[in-house]
Chains A and B, each alone.
Chain A
Amino acid sequence: MATVVDSSNPKSDFPIQYRELNYLNCSKGWKSWFFTLDHKRIGIMYLIGVTCAFFLGGLFAVLLRTELLSPARILLSADGYNQMFTLHGAIMTFLVIIPGVPAAIGNIILPVMLGAKDVAFPRMNLGSFYLWMFGAAFFLAALALGGLDTGWTFYTPYSITTSTAVITALLGVFILGFSSIFTGLNFIVTIHTMRPPGMTWFKMPLFLWALYATALIQILATPVLGITGLLLVVERAFHIGIFDPALGGDPVLFQHFFWFYSHPAVYVMILPAMGVVSEVIAVHSRKHIFGYRFIAYSSIAIAIFGFLVWGHHMFVSGQSKVVAVVFSAITFSVSIPSAIKVFNWLTTMYKGSIRFTTAMCYALAFLFIFSIGGLTGLFLATLATDIHLHDTYFVVAHFHYVMMGSSLVGLFAAVHHWWPKITGKMFSEFWGRIACLGVFLGFNLTFFPQFLLGTRGMPRRYYTYLPEFQNLHILSTCGAYLLGLSSALMAATLIYSVYRGKKAPANPWGGASLEWQCSSPPPANNFDHPPLAGDPYIMESVVYNEEIGGYVPVECQGAKKGSVTASGDKEA
C-alpha cells in the first residue's frame, strides 16, 4: 500500500514505469468510463464496440456462407439472404472497418505516440463515440423494423421502392458519418497543434502520417455521404425527384454521390492499416524503416488520388465513355503509391532481424493478402475486363482481400502490437500465432475460390447458383468457418490475457517511438513532461534488459533501475 501512496506523489523520484497509477485504475465506477474525456478510455470503449459489431457481422457472414453450401434453400429465404448480406456489409463497413483502426486504436495510440496529453477536443472525442453508439442503435433498429435489402450501397431506384427500413438505416449511416468526421477533425487538429517541442513532421511515426491522411479523407468525403443519405431519406419520405426516375430524377447521380464518398472511404479503411504495418514491420524487424519519406508522402498521395477515381465503380452504370476512360487511367495510377509502400516494407525486412511475433505474423499476412487484393483491383480497373467481372464474385473477392484481409488483419496486427501498452498485460504468443495462422488460412480458403467463381460468371448477391459452382462454394464456406473459429480464438487469447496475462514491461517489443517510453498502461496524463522526440525508427536506441523483461533506452542499460525513466527525463 505504501508504494501506491508514494508513487502517486509526483514529487517522488520513483520512476514513472513503476508508478502504480495508470489510466485504467486512476478512477473507478461506470461514470468514470461513460463520461471520461481520456482518449485512451474512449478508445477502449470504441474497441469493445467494434469487436461486438465485428462478431455480429461475422455471425451474419457465417449464415450467408452456410446458405451457399448448396444451391437449394438451407437456412434463409431469398429475401432473408438479401437482408443478411446487406446488414453484413453495412455493419462491417460502417461499424467495424471504418472506425476500427482510426477511432479505436488511433484514439488510444495517437496522442501517446505524438507526446501529447490528449487529443485536441476531448469532449468531441467522447461525442464521436456516442454518435457511433447511436448510429449502431439505428442499424439495430433497422434490423428490427424489417431489415434492409438494398445492399450496403443503397443504389437507387431500388432503395426508393423497397419496403424495408431504408430510412432508419440511412439515418444510422448519417450519424456514423458524423462520428467519423469528428474523429478525423480531432486527429488533424491534434497533429497540427499538439505536437510537443522537437516533434517535427518528419519525426512523426508513419502511423501518425497514415492517420493524418485518413483524417483528411474523413473530413473531405464524409460530409458528401451525409448529404447523400439525407437526400435519399428525403427522396423516400417526400419524393423530391432527385434520384427517382419516375419523377424525372437521375439514379446514376446517386451512384456519383455515393462513390464520391465510398471510394475514398475504402482508403479510410486501408490507410490506417498501412500505417500499422509500417510500425509493426519496422519494430519487429528491428530495423529502421526503409524510405520513410516515401511512405509518408504516399499516404498523402493516396488520400488525394483516392478522390479522383470513384467512377471505377460505375463503368457499366451508363457513365459516359470519356469519364470512364479518365477514371480508369487515374485508378491505375492510384495503385502506384500503394505499391511504393509494399516495396518499402519488403526492403525494411531485408536483412532485418525478424521475430515472428503475433503482430509480425499478422503484418506478413497483410503483405501477402494486400498484394493480391491490390493487384486484382487493377483487373477491375481495366475497362474491358470489368465489363465481364463487374458484379461477380471476383469483385467480392477483391474487396474482401483488401477490406477483410488487409484492413481487418491490419487491425489485428495493431491490437496485438499495442495490446501490452493498452492493457498492461502480455498475451500468449503461442495461441496468438495459432490464431493468426488460422485467420490467414481461413481467409484465403474463403476468398480465393471466389476469384475463380467470379471469373466463371457467378454473380454476386445471389442466394442460389448453378450446380457447377458448388464445389468452390463449399470450399469457401469451410474457409469461413475456419476464419470464424480463428478470430474467436484470437479474441479468447486476448481476453484471457487481461485476467491471467503476465504484466507487460513498458517496452516489450523494442519500439523507439514515444508510446513505448511511458509505462504500460500509460498514466492518465500520458506524460508529465513533454517527451523529447527523436527519430522513431532508430531501434538501436533501446536494448533488451533481462531484469525488466523488456527494452530500455541504451543510456539506462547497466545503470540502476531508478534511472530508467520517462523520456522527459531521459537526457537528464
Chain B
Amino acid sequence: MNTAATTTTDDHADSHDHEHHDPRLAHHFDSHQQQFDTGKLGIWLFLVTEVLFFSGLFGFYAVYRSLHPEVFLYASQFLDTVLGAANTVVLLFSSLTMAWGVRCAQLGQTRGLMVCLVVTLACAAIFLGVKSFEYTEKAHHGLLWAGMYHSPEHHDAAAADGAAGAGDHAHDEAAAAGDHGDDELFEKTKHTLSYMTTVLWVVIVISGIALGLLFKNPNKKTLATVAGCVLVSAAGMVIGAYSSIGYHHFGHAEKPTDEEILMAETVPAEYAAQKEKVPEPKLAGTFFSVYFCMTGLHAIHIIGGMIAISWLIVRTAHGAFTTYYFGAVDFVGLYWHLVDLIWIYLFPLLYLIN
C-alpha cells in the first residue's frame, strides 16, 4: 500500500515495535479499528462538504423559487413525473443494494458483496440512461437554461431566436402546431438518443468480447473486471434509455387522459390545453437553469459514484475485503447514499410543483 518512499522509512521503524506486516493496515495506524474509525470520520466530513457544496444550488433554487413562484409552477409541468418517480425508485433500490453490500462486506460474504455492487452499478447506469432521455428531449423542445431557452409557445420555430417575445399566436393554432411538432420532436429525440445508444452498443460489444477473452485468464483479473464494469454500465444506460423511449411511445399511443395532463407530461400538446390556465411568465428559462445545474451536478456525482463502485468491484474480485477490513465499501456506500439523499430532495423540488 505504500509507495517506495515510505517503504524505505518503514524498514527501520516498523521492525521493532510493530510486529504486524499486515498489508491492509497503513503504517501509521495501530489497529484496524483505529484505521476504520479514522476513515469513517473522514468520509463523514467529506459528506459535510458535499452537503454544503449542494447548499449553494439549493440556495439558487430557494431564492428564485420564492421570488418567482410562477416560473416554477409554469415550467415544472414540462418535467415528466413518471420518469422522475421511476428514477427515484431505481436510485432507492441501488441504495438498498449498496447497504446490503456493506452488510455482506461486514460479514465477509464476498459473493454477496459482488452481486450487490454489480446491481448497484447497473441501477446507477439505468438512472443515467433515463436522465439522458430526459435531457435530450428537453434539448429538442428548446427547454434549456435561461441563455438558451426557447419558449415552447413557438417551439415549432425553435430555430428562431427564442428571446421570450410576446407571442400573439392564436391558441388553437398553437395547439394544432404543437401536436404536429411534437411527433417530429420526439423523432428527433429518438434520433439523437439512437446515436448515443449506438455508441453504447459498440461499447457493450467491445467490453463483452474483452470480458469473454479475459475471463479465464487469472493474470488479467483486473482488466476483466474493469471490462465487466464497463459492460454493466453501458448496458444499464441502454436499458434506461430504451425503456423511457418505450414509455413515451406508450404514453402517445392512447389519447391523453385528464390524469396524464394533471401529471404534467412533457407534451406540448397537453401544455397547449393548459396554457390558458398558466400563461408563460418571464424568466421561464431560469427554472431550466436550476434544473440543469442541479440534476447535472447530481449526475456528475452519480458518475463519480459509478467509478468508485467499479473500483470496489475490482478490489472485491481480488478478495481485498475481509471482516476486519471493509472500510472502503462502507465509505463508498455512505457517499452513494448521500447522492441518493440529494435526489430524494431534488425529485419533489423539481418535478412535483403544483
The answer to A–B direct touch (Cβ < 8 A) is: yes
Residues in A lying within 8 Å of B, measured CB to CB: 8-11, 21, 23, 26-27, 31-33, 35-38, 41, 116-118, 120-122, 124, 181, 185-186, 188-189, 192-194, 219-224, 226-228, 230-231, 234, 238-242, 247-250, 253, 257, 523-525, 528-529
- CB contacts (< 8 Å) of B6 on chain A: these are 36-38, 122, 524
Contact of B285 among A121, A223, A247 (CB under 8 A): A247
Q: Does B46 contact A (CB under 8 A)?
A: yes
Given contacts A193-B37, A194-B38, A227-B53, contact A528 B17 (CB under 8 A): yes
Interface contact B45-A241, CB-CB below 8 Å:
no
Among B7-15, B228-236, B343-351, the one that faces the other chain is: B7-15
In B121-147, the 8 Å CB interface with A consists of 145-147
Q: Does B60 contact A (CB under 8 A)?
A: yes
Given contacts A8-B12, A38-B6, contact A220 B42 (CB under 8 A): no
- CB contacts (< 8 Å) of B26 on chain A: these are 122
Sorted nearest first, the 5 A-B pairs with minimum C-beta distance are: A239-B147, A241-B146, A227-B56, A524-B9, A240-B289
Closest Cβ of chain B to A194, distance in Å, is 7
**Which B residue sits closest to A119, measured CB to CB?**
B28
Contact of A227 among B8, B9, B46, B54 (CB under 8 A): B54
Contact of B12 among A21, A188, A222, A529 (CB under 8 A): A21
Alpha-carbon separation in the docked complex, A122 to B2 (Å): 10
Alpha-carbon separation in the docked complex, A547 to B349 (Å): 73
- CB contacts (< 8 Å) of A247 on chain B: these are 146-147, 283, 285-286
Interface contact B293-A37, CB-CB below 8 Å:
no
Q: Does B338 contact A (CB under 8 A)?
A: no
- CB contacts (< 8 Å) of A194 on chain B: these are 28, 38
Interface contact A189-B45, CB-CB below 8 Å:
yes
Alpha-carbon separation in the docked complex, A224 to B50 (Å): 9
Q: Does B27 contact A (CB under 8 A)?
A: yes
Interface contact B4-A32, CB-CB below 8 Å:
yes
- What class of interface size applies to chain B in its complex with A? 35 or more
Closest Cβ of chain B to A303, distance in Å, is 14
Alpha-carbon separation in the docked complex, A27 to B13 (Å): 14
**Which B residue sits closest to A126, measured CB to CB?**
B3
- CB contacts (< 8 Å) of A38 on chain B: these are 5-6, 9
Q: Does B49 contact A (CB under 8 A)?
A: yes
Contact of A231 among B9, B56, B63, B283 (CB under 8 A): B56
Alpha-carbon separation in the docked complex, A38 to B5 (Å): 8
- CB contacts (< 8 Å) of A8 on chain B: these are 12
- CB contacts (< 8 Å) of A524 on chain B: these are 6, 9, 13
Contact of B53 among A33, A226, A234 (CB under 8 A): A226
Interface contact B42-A121, CB-CB below 8 Å:
yes
Closest Cβ of chain B to A42, distance in Å, is 11
Interface contact A189-B56, CB-CB below 8 Å:
no
Given contacts A10-B15, A240-B293, A241-B289, contact A224 B56 (CB under 8 A): yes
Alpha-carbon separation in the docked complex, A238 to B49 (Å): 26
Closest Cβ of chain A to B40, distance in Å, is 9
Interface contact B48-A220, CB-CB below 8 Å:
yes
Alpha-carbon separation in the docked complex, A32 to B5 (Å): 5
**Which B residue sits closest to A19, measured CB to CB?**
B12
**Which A residue sits closest to B145, measured CB to CB?**
A240
- CB contacts (< 8 Å) of A185 on chain B: these are 42, 45-46, 49
- CB contacts (< 8 Å) of A188 on chain B: these are 41, 45
Alpha-carbon separation in the docked complex, A228 to B52 (Å): 11
Interface contact A529-B17, CB-CB below 8 Å:
yes
Interface centre among A8, A9, A240, A525 (most CB of B within 10 A): A240
- CB contacts (< 8 Å) of A529 on chain B: these are 17
- CB contacts (< 8 Å) of B148 on chain A: these are 238-239
Alpha-carbon separation in the docked complex, A11 to B28 (Å): 20
Residues in B lying within 8 Å of A, measured CB to CB: 2-6, 8-9, 12-13, 15-17, 26-28, 34, 37-38, 41-42, 45-46, 48-50, 52-57, 59-60, 63-64, 68, 145-148, 282-283, 285-286, 289, 292-293, 297
12 more contacts with CB within 8 A, not counting A31-B5, A185-B45, A194-B38, are: A27-B8, A36-B5, A36-B6, A118-B28, A189-B45, A192-B41, A193-B38, A224-B56, A241-B145, A248-B68, A524-B9, A528-B13
**Which A residue sits closest to B50, measured CB to CB?**
A223
Given contacts A11-B16, A257-B56, contact A120 B42 (CB under 8 A): yes
Interface contact A10-B41, CB-CB below 8 Å:
no
Closest Cβ of chain B to A363, distance in Å, is 32
Alpha-carbon separation in the docked complex, A43 to B315 (Å): 31
**Which B residue sits closest to A229, measured CB to CB?**
B56
> Helix, strand, loop or mixed for chain B's interface?
helix
Alpha-carbon separation in the docked complex, A234 to B45 (Å): 27
Interface contact B49-A27, CB-CB below 8 Å:
no
Alpha-carbon separation in the docked complex, A248 to B281 (Å): 12
- CB contacts (< 8 Å) of B289 on chain A: these are 240-242
Interface contact B13-A525, CB-CB below 8 Å:
yes
- CB contacts (< 8 Å) of A241 on chain B: these are 145-147, 283, 285-286, 289
Interface centre among A118, A121, A221, A238 (most CB of B within 10 A): A238
Contact of B4 among A35, A122, A221 (CB under 8 A): A35
- CB contacts (< 8 Å) of A248 on chain B: these are 68, 146, 282-283, 286
13 contacts between A and B (CB under 8 A): A10-B15, A37-B2, A37-B6, A188-B45, A220-B49, A227-B53, A231-B60, A241-B286, A241-B289, A242-B60, A242-B64, A242-B286, A529-B17
Interface centre among B5, B26, B50, B52 (most CB of A within 10 A): B5
- CB contacts (< 8 Å) of A249 on chain B: these are 146, 286
Contact of A37 among B3, B48, B59 (CB under 8 A): B3
Interface contact B4-A525, CB-CB below 8 Å:
no
Interface contact A257-B5, CB-CB below 8 Å:
no
- CB contacts (< 8 Å) of B49 on chain A: these are 181, 185, 219-220, 222-223
- CB contacts (< 8 Å) of A120 on chain B: these are 38, 42
Closest Cβ of chain B to A113, distance in Å, is 15
Alpha-carbon separation in the docked complex, A363 to B4 (Å): 40
Alpha-carbon separation in the docked complex, A10 to B17 (Å): 10
- CB contacts (< 8 Å) of B5 on chain A: these are 27, 31-33, 35-38, 41
- CB contacts (< 8 Å) of B52 on chain A: these are 220-221, 223-224
- CB contacts (< 8 Å) of A227 on chain B: these are 53-57
- CB contacts (< 8 Å) of B34 on chain A: these are 193
Alpha-carbon separation in the docked complex, A241 to B146 (Å): 6
Closest Cβ of chain B to A320, distance in Å, is 14
Closest Cβ of chain A to B52, distance in Å, is 4
Contact of B28 among A35, A122, A189 (CB under 8 A): A122
- CB contacts (< 8 Å) of B286 on chain A: these are 240-242, 247-249
Alpha-carbon separation in the docked complex, A221 to B51 (Å): 11
Given contacts A220-B48, A239-B147, contact A26 B8 (CB under 8 A): yes
**Which B residue sits closest to A234, measured CB to CB?**
B293
Alpha-carbon separation in the docked complex, A525 to B13 (Å): 7
- CB contacts (< 8 Å) of A181 on chain B: these are 49
Interface centre among B17, B64, B146, B282 (most CB of A within 10 A): B146
- CB contacts (< 8 Å) of A117 on chain B: these are 27-28
Alpha-carbon separation in the docked complex, A227 to B60 (Å): 11
- CB contacts (< 8 Å) of B145 on chain A: these are 238-241
**Which B residue sits closest to A28, measured CB to CB?**
B8
Closest Cβ of chain A to B299, distance in Å, is 14
Alpha-carbon separation in the docked complex, A194 to B54 (Å): 30
- CB contacts (< 8 Å) of A223 on chain B: these are 49-50, 52-53, 55-56
- CB contacts (< 8 Å) of A26 on chain B: these are 8-9
